[in-house]
Structure 1
Amino acid sequence: DLLQENIPGCSVFTLPAKKWHWRARTAALYFSQTIPTCSSYRVLFSSSVLNLCELVALRPDLARLKKVLYFHENQLVYPVRKDQERDFQYGYNQVLSCLVSDVVVFNSLFNMESFLSSISSFMKKIPDHRPRDLDKLIQPKCMVLNYPVQFPDVSRSVIDFHCNHNRSVDQSTSEPRTEQKCFPKEDSEDQTKPLHIVWPHRWEHDKNPEVFFSALLKLVEKQLDFHVSVLGETFTDVPEVFSEARRLLDSHILNWGFLSSREDYLRVLCQADVVVSTAKHEFFGVAMLEAVHCGCYPLCPKALVYPEIFPAEYLYSTPEQLCKRLQGLCRKPDVARRHVIKVDTSLFSWASLRQRFENLLADGGP
């Protein structure tokens, strides 16, 4: 949608974001029938979920375009509960799509390096007659281009929450230029209000909710006061830990579940003090950056993409370290509330990345 709004002549063809496994298996055939033949098409920009090999084989007219493959995640290191559950075909399709692409783009350096370094061991799953040196064929085509986040203007009254900003703004773009902190309107009660912790992630196993709720229950055991908002989208199989956590944390809960209104979601982020990730899988992390933009103090695993984006002071190595950090902030919530966050979210904004995307979607070159 962002590219369509900002790149002239951009046509978008999509499928709904559900039934993921079927999308990965069959989307190419569907798009081969729905994308019209058009002599003015110049560039084909596709998600790595699409089997690009199949699409360009079915549609030779599309094969002649400049083919850009964009990786939000990669299936070679995507976590599964048991290794035998990993479907070889999904990763294999991504490797094949890279081979027929002209440019392969990753949303983070972690995504790119983890993919390229895993190709060789992934291909060893083939029992015999294995292809070799595929990473050497793919690597020269690769580049990193962060996902362009459309950050909200958290100063607008539509959010209906008082924010005092500690940030500089580029008047020509209205984009924040440096780090920022969004403070609630101060009053005599504010200094005694409990720490407000937010967890804004998909309710799935790869976001590791067990570690998050375990840390909160230890805060309860130590009789520390806090509030929690557990946001994010739910799907068919919600991990059982959520229902149990809701029962045990009931008196601490301010918000629970998906907020269909973006304004309501942003309001909660502006009200919260700390945002936590416990993910076993993260190749970029829009939710964490949005929360930081709204003034939340971040706590992230010292792994995955996080060290690429967040300074060391926001990273923890073990669940015990996470729990200790939260205990300290519960005892002194002002530490989070008055902290000026050392993350320049504007680097990940469309205003900052637009020129690179325009160059990528031009006819020649990466």
Structure 2
Amino acid sequence: MQSEVSPPPSVLLVEAFYGGSHKQLIDLLKENIDGCSVFTLPAKKWHWRARTAALYFSQTIPACPSYRVLFSSSVLNLCELVALRPDLAHLKKVLYFHENQLVYPVRKDQDRDFQYGYNQVLSCLVSDVVVFNSSFNMDSFLSSIPSFMKKIPDHRPKDLDRLIRPKCVVLSYPVQFPDVSRFLPKHKRVQCTAEQSHVDDITTLQGEQQQFRADEEETPRCDPGGCAARASQSEGGAADAVKPLHIVWPHRWEHDKNPELFFKTLLRLKERGLDFHLSVLGETFTDVPEVFASSRLLLDSHILNWGFLPSKEDYLRVLCEADVVVSTANHEFFGVAMLEAVHCGCFPLCPKSLVYPEIFPAQYLYSTPEQLCKLLQGLCRRPDVARRHIIKVDTSSYSWAALKPRFQDLLLDECP
């Protein structure tokens, strides 16, 4: 009996930084799209990958007449690759932006290296389709091109944004949401099956949030008896009122996630005598901001979990146990960690900026550090509000199941 012969590859997947969300996307495409051939470099030394990966791939990707589509992230200088490999230039070239270097935050503007943003602009110019994971990512990139190019001393190119814009589409990053039902506490399992009419009075919740924002007192009080009585109406009842609010921060330990604001806010809550539990998760890299070490000492009595959890199961279990997930980011083009936490039943609090207004309704957004502090202050005093609330974010629309058809269309040998 003859074995089936696999069809020749038609899709060339190239990833210069094969780690994190970049790796997850490439793996998803390879597993679910027929005819993929994959070439990658490890996720190390990002700046060197952006500068030299094209030359490496030009020597290691073999010639293949069956290729029809080339897909890469914007880490790769696609312009250099197709110049070095003319046989790849005729393919449908799809460039995916997980982030963009034109607005990626740096500690000082003079620290921004012009070449990385410039490489991304060049890659767009030779691409057939330029894909962004959010409208914020696309709009911030295109609108920044004119001012970015003004850094060139003279003989500046013009209208590059107008040349690139017609190629651009927004296609959300596809998140694989696992089944976490076995980790969910009882009140979250009840939420999953509840009707919208059984929400902890969404009107009441919104009213209380407005009260938190408007209240100018330093330590607004809630009558413990009244809170306990209201909490007893929810699944879990008095236990919800007694158990401290569990706050989780599941982001990379880097300055662009603004950990300084997060820990400053928690220390203000502690100074006001408010009780809460804390889990600080996320990956660490070579240069960990000093604020993590100092805050760990100051918040030690509140900490349940501290540091990266290499087991995905352990990570999901902590998210399911938590009540509130907080972002204080100065930079976010999509935000997988926040969506994963919402999938696990966490009440989200995000800045009213960056990508967040695209994904999260206004009731989960704060405009100032003071608003964040007051919202957390209110939820510390009324943890039942977070626990009884059914979150108004449709995470399923960001799932691979929902987005797979669009990625399949993207990797067809047809330009839009």
Aligned residue for 2:65, secondary structure, equals coil
Give CA-to-partner distance per residue, 1:273-325, whole Å, 9 cap, x none.
00000000000000000000100000000000001110011000111110010
Judge conservation of contact 1:164–1:185 (CA < 8 Å) in 2: no
Match 1:205 to one of 238, 245, 255: 255
Partner residue of 1:13? Answer: 39
CA distance in 2, matches of 1:190, 1:315: 24
Give 1:174's aligned residue. none
Counterpart position of 1:137: 163
CA distance in 2, matches of 1:53, 1:101: 8
Specify the alignment match of 1:148 in structure 2. Answer: 174
Q: Distance in 2 between matches of 1:363 and 1:299?
A: 41
Percent identity, aligned pairs only, is: 81
5 Å-filtered alignment, 1:99-110, equals 99-110=125-136
Amino acid at match of 2:269: L
Q: Which residue of 2 aligns with 1:68?
A: 94
In the alignment, what sits opposite 2:264?
214
1:349 aligns to 2:399 (yes or no): yes
TM-score normalised by L of structure 1: 0.93
1:27 corresponds to which residue?
53
- Corresponding pairs, count: 352
The 1-side partners of 2:386 and 2:237 are apart by 17
Q: Cα deviations across residues 178-207 of structure 1 (Å, max 9, x unaligned)?
A: xx99xx984753431000000000000000
The alpha-carbon distance between structure 1 residues 325 and 188, as it changes in their structure 2 partners (threshold 3 A), is: closer
Residue 164 in structure 1 maps to residue 189 in structure 2 = yes
State the distance in 2 between where 1:358 and 1:221 align: 53
Letter in 2 for 1:216: L
Q: How much has 1:160 moved relative to structure 2?
A: 7.8
Structure 1 contact 149–349 (Cα < 8 Å) conserved: yes
**1:106–1:146: 8 Å Cα contact kept in structure 2?**
yes
Native 8 Å contact 1:161 1:267 kept in 2: no
- Are the aligned partners of 1:310 and 1:343 in contact in 2 as well (CA < 8 Å)? yes
State the AA in 2 paired with 1:22: W
Pairwise CA RMSD of aligned residues? 1.8
The one-character-per-residue Cα deviations of 1:56-76 (angstroms, maximum 9, x if unpaired) are: 111111111100000000000
Amino acid in the other structure paired with 1:29: L
Q: Which residue of 1 aligns with 2:278?
A: 228
**Unpaired segments of 5 or more residues in structure 1?**
169-179
Separation of aligned partners in 2, 1:132 and 1:160: 54
The residue identity in structure 2 corresponding to 1:141 is K
Using the TM superposition, name which of 12-21 and 103-112 deviates more: 12-21
Q: Which runs of 5+ in 2 are unaligned?
A: 1-26, 194-198, 201-233
Partner of 1:273: 323
CA–CA separation in structure 2 for the residues paired with 1:272 and 1:365: 45
TM-score when normalising by structure 2: 0.82
1-side partners of 2:67 and 2:316: how far apart? 38
Q: Which position in structure 1 is the counterpart of 2:338?
A: 288
Shift of 1:12: 1.6
Point out the structure with the larger helix share: 2
| SS in structure 1 at match of 2:287 | coil
Instruction: Compute the displacement of 1:10 (Å).
Output: 1.1
The answer to whether the aligner puts 1:85 opposite 2:111 as a matched pair is yes
Q: Conserved in 1, the CA contact under 8 Å of 2:184 and 2:344?
A: no
Say if 2:325 and 2:348, in contact at 8 Å, map to a contact too.
yes
- How far has the Cα of 1:33 moved from its partner? 1.6
